[in-house]
Amino acid sequence: MFQLSANLELLFTEVGPSYLDRARAAAAAGFDAVEIWGTSNKDVKGFAAVLAELGLTLTSMVAEPRSNLVFPGTDMRQFYEGLQRSLEHAHLLHCHHMVVSPGLGFPGASRRKNLESLAEVYTRILEQVGSADVMILHEPVNTRVDHPGVLVDRTADAVSVIRSVGSKKLRLLYDFYHSVVEGESPASALADAADVLAYVQFADVPGRGEPGSGTIDWAGCLSLLKRLGYKGPIGLEYRPVAASAQSVQYIMRLSRPG
């Protein structure tokens, strides 16, 4: 059985703005894992206490502040200071996956040069991570709907950067929604990525609703992950059409063994 992780930015918002209440609602709905975006808007110590109380694992978080990592003139000092705070928060929250978003590509450079520059930044990031028990996740996202102008929108480019850096502490986050919106076939996109795949996320197409609300073949996606030997978390990062607890029932049933 795959470990499903509820994204508390998008799920269980009906209980209110408190992430502590959302975590409690996720646990009541049957989850043993949750994921978040950043921590700047959260009571980190309080959140850590509630996670421990409920027996919830925090499977991923996003480093802040988000920045355009390959733009000349970007104040990288602010980024690296924020990365250090995020690493400290990850330690408090016992979170071992951190997403670092590369931002936009620099239009004054070729795609190849942009990706080479990004690999250099990721190498510097990993130096700062050092021996911390945190894996950095590199996520390609779509430019067609959600992130126009973003640098890395293709799975193959993300994999190329990861292999260029050559560290097991930099791995791929593959979001089925972003990939399908971008026109990729999951089977083709992941065919040469199994060795660097560490995290996946689900949302349906179109609309970014819950699995089962759109056109993606989720039984096929789960079978694909099994064939690839994937054993990591599945983040449910979608905007529910139905109430959150109801919206997860389909993918929970589908992901159970047998």
Whether residue 121 is predicted with pLDDT greater than 60 in this model: the reply is yes
Q: Could you report the per-residue pLDDT of 191-205, keeping only the tens digit for each?
A: 999 999 999 999 999
The secondary structure of 94-139 as a DSSP string is: T--EEE----BPPTTS-HHHHHHHHHHHHHHHHHHHTTSS-EEEE-
pLDDT of residue 175: 98
pLDDT of residue 26: 98
Residue pair 58/19 in contact by the 8 Å Cβ criterion: no
Provide the β-strand partners of residue 150: 104
pTM over 0.85: yes
Task: Supply 86's token pair.
Answer: 């995020």
Cβ neighbours of residue 18 under 8 Å, at least 6 residues apart?
Answer: none
Whether residue 1 is predicted with pLDDT greater than 60 in this model: the reply is yes
Which of the four CATH numbers 3.20.10.10, 3.30.365.10, 3.40.50.720, 3.20.20.150 does domain 3-7+19-43+53-241 have? 3.20.20.150
Looking at residues 158-168, what average pLDDT do you find?
98
Task: State which amino acid sits at residue 96.
Answer: H
pLDDT band, very low/low/confident/very high, at 208 (cuts 50, 70, 90): very high
Phi first, then psi, for residue 184 (nearest 5°) are -85, 155
Looking at residues 101-125, what average pLDDT do you find?
96
Looking at residues 136-142, what average pLDDT do you find?
98
pLDDT of residue 39: 97
Query: What letter would DSSP give residue 233?
Result: E
pLDDT band, very low/low/confident/very high, at 152 (cuts 50, 70, 90): very high
CA distance 20 to 52: 11
Q: Considering just the CA atoms, what is the radius of gyration of the chain in Å?
A: 18
pLDDT band, very low/low/confident/very high, at 258 (cuts 50, 70, 90): low
Q: Could you report the per-residue pLDDT of 55-72, keeping only the tens digit for each?
A: 999 999 999 999 999 999
Q: Could you report the per-residue pLDDT of 214-248, keeping only the tens digit for each?
A: 999 999 999 999 999 999 999 999 999 989 999 99
Whether residue 52 is predicted with pLDDT greater than 60 in this model: the reply is yes
% residues pLDDT > 70 (the chain): 100
Looking at residues 32-38, what average pLDDT do you find?
98
